[in-house]
Structure 1
Amino acid sequence: MVQRRAVTAVLAAAALLVTAGCSSGDEGTTGGGSAFPNARSTEPGSPSSQQSAEATPPAKGSVKVLRTVTEDLDTPWGLAPLPEGGLLVSSRDKGTITRVDEKSGKKTVMGEVPGVAPAGEGGLLGIALSPDYASDHMIYAYFTTASDNRIVRMLYDEKKPPGEQLGAPDTIFKGIPKGMIHNGGRIAFGPDKMLYAGAGETGDRGLAQDKKALGGKILRMTPDGEPAPGNPFGDSVVYSYGHRNVQGLAWDDKQRLWASEFGQDTWDELNQIKPGDNYGWPLVEGKSDNPKYHNPIAQWPTDEASPSGIAYAEGSIWMAGLKGERLWRIPLNGTKASAAPEAFLKGKYGRLRTVVSAGGDKLWLTTSETDGRGSPGKGDDRILEVEVK
């Protein structure tokens, strides 16, 4: 297993305290480790007795990198495991989707997504499989065009030659504002089979508090791109607002939605998402005493996170840090952190972009050294198989 750089400091007890934020440049380079107290729970019908009845993960966890699955990826961003085996990975700058054999590491370019216009933090970003993938073989993708960010779906036909396996994109949703920064980009189907998308505010802070704007939001829609039934603002795809740049979405074993969010200069956040709630940006960054704003469950000072993807496994949220170059574990008890977050892999593999459950105690983890803000070395970028506890 290749290590990109030596660890510059022993992971000390301070790394068990919650910390980490990200600068206004968002996807920046290297940091420390510590944590912040739990926020109040705003989940209705979640009394402390219910939370205490839930299984609580141990205060201390562990991470073991089992192997490097594949190397030499170009700006990997989205990652989607196929039920029949194989990992789909999107290239932000090339606009391609590649299938990786998770056993041999062999890479097969499935095709290029037409209309992708990579620039800054934009390009081909998140990907997700249709909830009916077994029958329809549809792949969803979020990407930046010359005019907006949009979500499309494409038929995957592995019987066709490499490079020609993606069908023509069917645009299901468009008009999400784009920018050189803060394009959001993470998409995921929830337990309700609705499609959720993190949409950044593009650097235009006012969008986040405007309920009619699509930027600075978490969006929820049907697989056809229509406002999902039960959304909080009537005939709108807006699910929550007051976000700066959400790039991580995951559900726990109680079907609660969690999201990671880039802060500006002070606090990055892990939030438990409630429909219709206001998460404060740009009026609040991190925790607030104002009950109008939903407080984060955990927050990190600048340089220790710049969080992108998150996944749920073994009772904890696992959060990939770009600038922080580490994998954070946030153990949960209901809608609160049950112990201080822990940092793992600090500085060993560089910037970490996406983390996805591989089932049980395993995760898939991608690096992000070729995104223009890293220091790529031999083999970058790569997918790692990780065992967590």
Structure 2
Amino acid sequence: MLSRRSRFVATLAVAVLSLTAGCSFGPPGPDQAGSPPNLPRPSAAPTAGGDDGERQVAITVLAKNLEVPWGISFLPDGGAVVTERDTARILKVGPESTASGLKVTELRRLSEVRAGGDGGLLGVAVSPAYKTDKTLYVYYSTDRDNRIGKLAGDGALQPILTGIPRSTEFNGGALAFGPDGLLYAGTGDATPAGGQAPGAKSLAGKILRITTAGKPAPGNPVKSSPVWSSGHRNVQGLAWDKSKRLYATDRGQPRYSELNVIAKGKNYGWPKADGTGAGTGLTNPLTSWPSDSSSCAGVGVLETLVATACLLGEKIQLLNVTANGTVLGSPQELLAGEFGRLRALVNAPDGSFWVSTSNQEDAGEPTPEDDRVIRLVFSDGGAGRS
């Protein structure tokens, strides 16, 4: 009988885990840009599952020897752009293959970035109109603040939103386009006590919703403000399901790392609440885990499966979520201790997850291949079709 923990064959892994029956993984919705890359294959075929409903996931290492890869976003040609936090490099990974994985090419190195602590070159989002405008959006740190900027072709980096508070820790950095075509950013509270997170006049500890010009988006809670939600500690992952429900990770609280379902104008409790048990006027997380064994950053959604990548926990947390947004059953673990610290986790256009390691930072213990980008394909999902 196969173990429910991940198993590996040679340097590429094939894991078997148990998921709730009826969970399927098909191609993403039309609002997700991109096409399948030319991917290397796992070194071994998945082993057949048992009779108890086990499903398999094939794990392929796509890229090696990166330095703290932070953000991942997909291009129309099937490749991905990947940011490196400390080097301030923007890389293109794929779609071309090499003998050891996908081809990695340096596109840009941003001189405006000042790395330090958990600040640097963080999130990246490919324009929904990339085929015509060739524009990338990035979340980055300077000496004075965190900013969101855009890069069009070979042009200079143009800041579109400045003044997001920065600190050694708690800088946020999540960046993604929503199904509404607007740009969402997760910020950190930038203070040990979290005093800025609930404040309406500060951009710290928030999820922001803006236009591609950096202006407050139409329909925001306050017309003149980019703030969509507040009361966050350190938002480093954003993802939507097919019903356009927004999930966000929140890490850095002393006691708990949170996964929240984000609603317009809600306050998610920090610093008054840490994990569940929020008081009047505050919103509880969908679920939470002890910080010292989780500290989850990236998040992705496939059908009813929500996955988060954890740094301190060195694993992926998997949750089955019902149609009305509640957790079904107990969370499960994948890759526990197998790849070290895991940071980014995003939905690829072909229905797989891409995950990055974060072992080249001070808290990590890198192997000769770190850092890596890894691809996860669930055997019953049809992911990776080309």
Q: Same fold (TM over 0.5)?
A: yes
Change (3 A) 1:154 1:60: farther
- How many Å apart are 1:289 and its aligned residue? 5.2
| In 2: Cα distance, 1:63 partner to 1:364 partner | 16
Distance 1:378 1:260, change over 3 A: same
Using the aligned pairs only, state the percent identity.
40
Counterpart check, 1:89 vs 2:86: no
Unpaired runs of at least 5, structure 1: 17-58, 157-165
Closer/same/farther in 2, CA of residues 289 and 90 from structure 1, 3 Å limit: closer
1:116 is aligned to 2:105: no
Please, what TM-score do these two structures have when normalized by structure 1? 0.81
Give 1:141's match in structure 2, choosing from 130, 138, 141. Answer: 138
Give the SS at the match of 2:195. helix
- Quote the offset at 1:60 in angstroms: 7.6
Seen in structure 2, the aligned counterparts of structure 1 residues 374 and 289 have a Cα distance that, compared at 3 Å, is closer
In 2, distance between residues paired with 1:2 and 1:167?
43
Cα distance in 2 for partners of 1:82, 1:367 equals 21
Partner of residue 154, structure 1: 151
Correspondence for 2:187 among 186, 190, 199: 199
Equivalent residue letter for 2:224: D
Residue of structure 1 equivalent to 2:357: 367
Higher mean C-alpha displacement, 314-323 vs 288-297: 288-297
Q: Residue type matched to 1:96 in 2?
A: R
Which residue of 2 is the match for residue 184 of structure 1? 172
Q: Are the aligned partners of 2:258 and 2:289 in contact in 1 as well (CA < 8 Å)? A: yes
Alpha-carbon distance in 2 for matches of 1:313, 1:213: 33
Change (3 A) 1:60 1:306: farther
Aligned partner of 2:163 in structure 1 is 175
Task: Give the structure 2 partner of residue 242 of structure 1.
Answer: 231
Is 1:227 the counterpart of 2:216? The answer is yes
- Determine the C-alpha separation between the residues in 2 that align with 1:133 and 1:79: 15
Q: Secondary structure at the match of 1:324?
A: coil
Tell me how many residue pairs correspond in the alignment. Answer: 333
Shift of 1:263: 4.2
Q: CA deviation at 1:100?
A: 1.3
Distance 1:145 1:263, change over 3 A: closer
Residue in 1 that maps onto 2:62: 69
Q: 1:101 aligned to 2:101?
A: no
Judge conservation of contact 1:128–1:140 (CA < 8 Å) in 2.
yes
| Alpha-carbon distance change, 63 to 249 in structure 1, aligned in 2, over 3 angstroms | farther
Q: Deviations over 1:293-345 (max 9, x none)?
A: 11111110132210111011131111000000001111111221122211111
- Which structure features the higher share of strand residues? 2
Instruction: Please point out which of 252, 267, 271 is paired with 2:256.
Output: 267
Q: Is the 8 A contact 2:242 2:303 kept in 1?
A: no
Matched, 1:351 2:341: yes
Q: Which residue of 1 aligns with 2:73?
A: 80
Task: Give 1:62 shift.
Answer: 4.6
Report the Cα offset of residue 3 of structure 1. 5.9
What secondary structure, in the 3-state scheme, does the structure 2 residue paired with 1:143 have?
strand
Letter in 2 for 1:144: S
* Structure 2 counterpart of 1:336: 326
Select 2:205's aligned residue among 206, 216, 230: 216
SS of the residue 2:285 aligns to: coil
Whole-angstrom distance in 1 between the partners of 2:56 and 2:106: 31
2-side partners of 1:261 and 1:61: how far apart? 30
Maintained 8 Å contact 2:269/2:278: no
Question: Residue 42 of structure 1 aligns with which residue?
Answer: none
Distance 1:187 1:62 in 2: 31
Q: CA deviation at 1:87?
A: 1.6
Q: Which residue of 1 aligns with 2:310?
A: 321
CA distance in 2: counterparts of 1:314 and 1:199, whole angstroms: 27
Query: In 2 relative to 1, CA 290–61 (structure 1 residues): closer, same or farther, beyond 3 Å?
Result: farther
Distance in 1 between the 2:11 and 2:139 partners?
31
Give the secondary structure class of the aligned counterpart of 2:346: strand
Distance 1:273 1:94 in 2: 32
Task: Confirm or deny: 8 A CA contact 2:316 2:335 kept in the other structure.
Answer: yes
The answer on 1:294 being equivalent to 2:283 is yes
- 1:257-299 CA-to-partner distances (Å, cap 9, x unmatched) read 1101114221111100011101000000011152311111111
| 1:257 and 2:246 aligned | yes
**Structure 2, gaps ≥5 residues long:** 1-8, 21-51, 381-386
Task: Tell whether the 8 Å contact from 1:313 to 1:360 is kept in structure 2 after alignment.
Answer: no
Task: Note if contact 2:320-2:329 (Cα within 8 Å) is conserved in structure 1.
Answer: yes
Residues 125 and 72 of structure 1, relative CA distance in 2, 3 Å threshold: same
Displacement, 1:216? 0.5
Whether contact under 8 Å (1:263, 1:269) holds in the other structure is no
Task: Sort the Cα spacing of 1:239 and 1:60 in 2 relative to 1 into closer, same or farther, 3 A.
Answer: farther
